[in-house]
Structure formats: structure tokens, C-alpha cells
């Protein structure tokens, strides 16, 4: 990247495509362009073989079987397929779902939609560190509960929920467990067997893969999950998700996850060191607060709230130096504080004046030091101007 572009520190929004992933994808745009569903000639067979290899890689990454991987356009579609698909299939057994107040909108909005159809949804609060209270979850489960949906890693504060403990509770009560693992795949170990997960949403573009491709893991036994399709058509993906498979994206998705797993241990250690280095420097400022659990979080995530500054001014003040995300979700007309930070108990002012740093594969120690110095200078400058 050229030096005059801002340093990219927004890896929870998206990540750059890894060059090695691009190399794996290229032949499937041009030379091996066949439709994986074309069963009568070599072009189709080549594409189908590539898709099957990719399915195998993704399944092994989460300790599933290849048949349990259903390709989608991303995690948003996977979440919609999981939540609406379960609601539609199991509504005779019950119409109650449980999720967290801190979930991504791609989980919260399908839940609100189901409420408009007559389902009941319990939105559990989280503790001040962002973690779910397991006793509260257990108490919220009712005889008519059909699904619990809890994300693996939070997209704003990076907090890692205790998936295995949640899976155990759900299994014991014979309730299906869905997790949105968009931010987790390729960054933390995931095991659908050990964690007793029934449905898991994945995406490629948070792990240095291409945008526009994701998957839903759907458990095939103990229990066999029934899922109503949300896209009907040619019956692709065992009838759960029709549409011609996007072979280059699928190949890229698998390659990105494979690289993430290969490099996970060394990269985790490197990112934690960079993150802690950034926090140690920023923490010299008075009136700065860490959002979310200090250690049980994604290695590259740092989310802070800063007293006595205006949030948008802060993000804009940092803009020439760094691309970071501020804690206010700017919808078309009105700016609202982050629902995640609100759920942690942060005041609206502190929610607005927050920064999310998403540190990634391309960031260096030198960049972290520059960001820290720049952020401190910007904050001090903004505080001066308010006096």
C-alpha cells in the first residue's frame, strides 16, 4: 500500500484479499469456468471437483462433514437461512427463540421479522464485559424454545462467547444452537462436535478471502437438523439453497480458511502483542475505557470509549492517518449509539465516542506506534478545543 493512504485498521469490516487466495481463484474464472451442476462433461466435472475439495477443507476446519456445508452468498444469508429456516421447519414444536442483545443485525433483524409473524424472541442482556450469563440462558429456555442463536465473536468488541458451555445447555434441553461465526472462522479454533453446535454461519471476507461467499453448517445427525429453504429453484445444495455455485469464490473461501488455520498460532500471538501494545499506549490517557472482556476476545480487536470527545470528530480527526470504525452506526438520517456498547451499559456519550481497531495480517509494530501517537494527539487536541 502506498504511504499516503491511511493505515488500514478496520479488519472487522472487511479484510484485503490475500495474494495466495487470488492465485488459487484465478483459473476458475477463465480456464475452468464450468458449472459444478453440469454432470455430463469435463467442464462441469472440473468445477464440481474444485467445489468438493473446498467443501472438504471447510468441513475439516470446523470438524464437520462435507455434506453439512451449504454455500451461501455470505454470513447475512447464512444467518437468515438458519433462523427463518428453523422457524419455518419447527414452528409446530414451538415458536420461541433466544438470542443476545449484542448480536449482529443479520441475526437481530430476522428475529424481529419472525416476531411480526407471531414468534416470540427473548433478547438476553450481557454482563458489563460483554459475556453471556449462562444461568440466565438456562432460565430463559422454555418448553416451546426451538432455537438459541449466540455469535462466536462479536464484530464490535471482539468478545468470544463460551460456545461449548452454551452448546451443552442447549443439547441438554434439546434446543437447537446456532452461532454466527463470521468474525471467528480462521481466527479462533471452532469445533461443531466438541461445542455441540447445530448450525454455524461463516463468511470469507473477514479472513482475507473474497466478498460475496459464505456458508451455513447444518448438522446431519444427533440431531438431524431440518431446514426450510429460503431460495427455491434448481435444488442445489441438497435443496437447502438453490442457485449456481460461484466456483472461484468457493475455491478462494476454502484457501483463505486453510491459510488462516495454518498460521493461526503464530498470527494470534503476533496480533495479541500488537493489540496490547496499542492499548498500553492509549491507556496512558485519562478517561479512556476498554470495551469488552480484556482477554476473552479476538486477538486483533481493541474497542475503546473516550471521555470528553465527540465521536464523529474523533473518527474524522484520525481519518488521514488511519481507517478505523467509530462506535456510532450512521444510518441515513440519524446517528445512533452502538447497540452493543449500550448493552454493555455505556452511556450514549461514551458509545458515540468510541473507536474500534481491527488489527490484521498486514499491520506492523511501526504502524501501531504511529496510530497510538496520532490517536493520543487527536484526542488531546479535541479535548483542548472543548474547554
Walk along the chain (387 residues) and give the pLDDT tens digit of each residue.
Answer: 445 899 999 999 999 999 999 999 999 999 999 999 999 999 999 999 999 999 999 999 999 999 999 999 999 999 999 999 999 999 999 999 999 999 999 999 999 999 999 999 999 999 999 999 999 999 999 999 999 999 999 999 999 999 999 999 999 999 999 999 999 999 999 999 999 999 999 999 999 999 999 999 999 999 999 999 999 999 999 999 999 999 999 999 999 999 999 999 999 999 999 999 999 999 999 999 999 999 999 999 999 999 999 877 887 899 889 999 886 665 556 678 899 999 999 999 899 899 999 999 999 999 999 999 999 999 999 999 877
Q: What is the pLDDT of residue 4?
A: 80
Q: Are residues 65 and 214 in the same domain?
A: yes
Neighbours of 35 (CB within 10 A): 14
Bridge partner residues of 352 (DSSP): none
Q: What is the pLDDT of residue 297?
A: 98
What CATH number is attached to the domain comprising 113? 3.40.640.10
Is 284 within a domain?
yes
Neighbours of 332 (CB within 10 A): 4
Please tell me the distance from the alpha carbon of residue 161 to that of residue 179, in angstroms, as a whole number.
10
pLDDT, tens digit (0-9, with 9 covering 90-100), for 102-124: 999 999 999 999 999 999 999 99
Is the distance from CB of 217 to CB of 68 less than 8 angstroms?
yes
Residue at a domain's end among 261, 284, 313: 261
Q: What is the pLDDT of residue 334?
A: 66
Q: Are residues 195 and 69 in the same domain?
A: yes
Is 8 within a domain?
no
pLDDT, tens digit (0-9, with 9 covering 90-100), for 289-321: 999 999 999 999 999 999 999 877 887 899 889
Q: Are residues 246 and 272 in the same domain?
A: no
Q: Are residues 273 and 240 in the same domain?
A: no
Please tell me the distance from the alpha carbon of residue 39 to that of residue 43, in angstroms, as a whole number.
9
Q: Are residues 63 and 137 in the same domain?
A: yes
Q: What is the pLDDT of residue 329?
A: 60
Number of structural domains (the chain) is 2
Q: Are residues 174 and 302 in the same domain?
A: no
Residue at a domain's end among 230, 261, 292: 261
Please tell me the distance from the alpha carbon of residue 364 to that of residue 39, in angstroms, as a whole number.
48
DSSP state for residue 50 in the 8-state scheme: H
Q: Are residues 253 and 269 in the same domain?
A: no
Is 12 within a domain?
no
At 380, list the grid cell.
488531546
Q: Are residues 81 and 139 in the same domain?
A: yes
Closest to 372 measured CA to CA, from 291, 268, 302, 270: 302
Q: Are residues 270 and 179 in the same domain?
A: no
What CATH number is attached to the domain comprising 367? 3.90.1150.10
Please tell me the distance from the alpha carbon of residue 367 to that of residue 206, in angstroms, as a whole number.
21
Please tell me the distance from the alpha carbon of residue 94 to that of residue 97, in angstroms, as a whole number.
9
How distant, in Å, are the alpha carbons of 41, 99, 214, 313 from that of 177?
A: 40, 10, 19, 41
Is 13 within a domain?
no
Is the distance from CB of 357 to CB of 301 less than 8 angstroms?
yes
Residues annotated as catalytic (active site), given as ranges: 330
Q: What is the pLDDT of residue 3?
A: 57
Is 3 within a domain?
no
Residue at a domain's end among 261, 291, 306: 261
What is the domain range of residue 355? 264-386
Is 229 within a domain?
yes
Is the distance from CB of 253 to CB of 54 less than 8 angstroms?
yes
Please tell me the distance from the alpha carbon of residue 82 to that of residue 116, in angstroms, as a whole number.
18
Is the distance from CB of 219 to CB of 167 less than 8 angstroms?
no
Is 6 within a domain?
no
| String of DSSP letters for 283-306 | TTSTTEEE-S-SSSB-TTEEEEEE
Q: What is the pLDDT of residue 315?
A: 79
Q: Are residues 107 and 229 in the same domain?
A: yes
Q: Are residues 34 and 176 in the same domain?
A: yes
Is 15 within a domain?
no
Phi, psi of 182 (to 5 degrees): -55, -45
Is the distance from CB of 242 to CB of 236 less than 8 angstroms?
yes
Q: Are residues 227 and 336 in the same domain?
A: no
Amino acid at each position: 500500500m502506498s504511504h499516503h493512504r491511511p493505515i488500514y485498521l478496520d479488519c472487522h469490516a472487511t479484510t484485503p484479499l490475500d495474494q495466495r487466495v487470488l492465485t488459487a481463484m484465478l483459473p476458475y474464472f477463465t480456464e475452468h469456468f464450468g458449472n459444478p451442476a453440469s454432470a455430463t462433461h469435463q467442464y462441469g466435472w472440473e468445477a464440481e471437483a474444485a467445489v468438493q475439495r473446498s467443501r472438504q477443507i471447510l468441513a475439516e476446519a470446523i470438524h464437520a462433514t462435507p455434506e453439512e456445508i451449504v454455500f451461501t452468498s455470505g454470513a447475512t444469508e447464512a444467518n437468515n437461512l438458519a433462523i427463518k429456516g428453523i422457524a419455518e421447519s419447527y414452528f409446530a414444536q414451538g415458536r420461541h427463540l433466544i438470542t443476545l442483545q449484542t448480536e449482529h443485525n443479520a441475526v437481530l433483524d430476522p428475529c424481529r421479522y419472525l416476531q411480526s409473524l407471531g414468534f416470540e424472541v427473548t433478547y438476553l442482556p450481557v454482563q458489563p464485559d460483554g459475556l453471556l450469563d449462562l444461568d440466565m440462558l438456562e432460565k430463559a429456555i422454555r418448553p416451546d424454545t426451538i432455537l438459541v442463536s449466540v455469535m462466536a465473536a462479536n464484530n464490535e468488541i471482539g468478545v468470544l462467547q463460551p460456545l461449548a458451555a452454551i452448546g451443552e445447555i442447549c443439547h441438554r434441553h434439546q434446543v437447537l444452537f446456532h452461532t454466527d461465526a463470521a468474525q471467528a472462522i480462521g481466527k479462533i479454533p471452532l469445533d461443531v462436535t466438541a461445542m455441540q453446535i447445530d448450525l454455524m454461519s461463516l463468511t470469507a471476507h473477514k479472513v482475507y478471502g473474497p466478498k460475496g461467499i459464505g456458508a451455513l453448517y447444518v448438522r446431519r445427525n444427533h440431531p438431524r437438523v431440518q431446514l426450510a429453504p429460503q431460495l427455491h429453484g434448481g435444488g442445489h445444495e441438497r435443496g437447502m439453497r438453490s442457485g449456481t455455485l460461484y466456483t472461484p469464490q468457493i475455491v478462494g473461501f476454502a484457501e483463505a480458511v486453510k491459510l488462516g488455520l495454518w498460521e493461526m498460532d503464530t498470527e494470534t500471538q503476533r496480533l495479541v502483542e500488537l493489540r496490547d501494545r496499542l492499548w498500553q499506549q492509549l491507556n496512558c490517557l485519562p478517561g479512556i475505557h476498554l470495551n469488552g472482556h480484556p482477554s476473552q476476545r479476538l486477538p486483533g480487536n481493541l474497542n475503546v470509549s473516550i471521555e470528553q470527545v465527540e465521536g464523529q470528530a474523533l473518527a474524522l480527526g484520525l481519518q488521514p492517518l488511519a481507517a478505523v470504525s467509530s462506535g456510532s452506526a450512521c444510518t441515513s438520517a440519524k446517528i445512533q449509539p452502538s447497540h452493543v456498547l449500550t448493552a454493555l451499559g455505556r452511556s450514549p456519550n461514551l458509545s458515540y465516542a468510541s473507536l474500534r481497531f481491527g488489527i490484521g495480517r498486514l499491520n506492523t509494530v511501526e504502524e501501531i506506534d504511529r496510530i497510538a501517537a496520532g490517536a493520543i494527539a487527536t484526542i488531546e487536541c479535541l479535548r483542548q478545543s472543548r474547554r
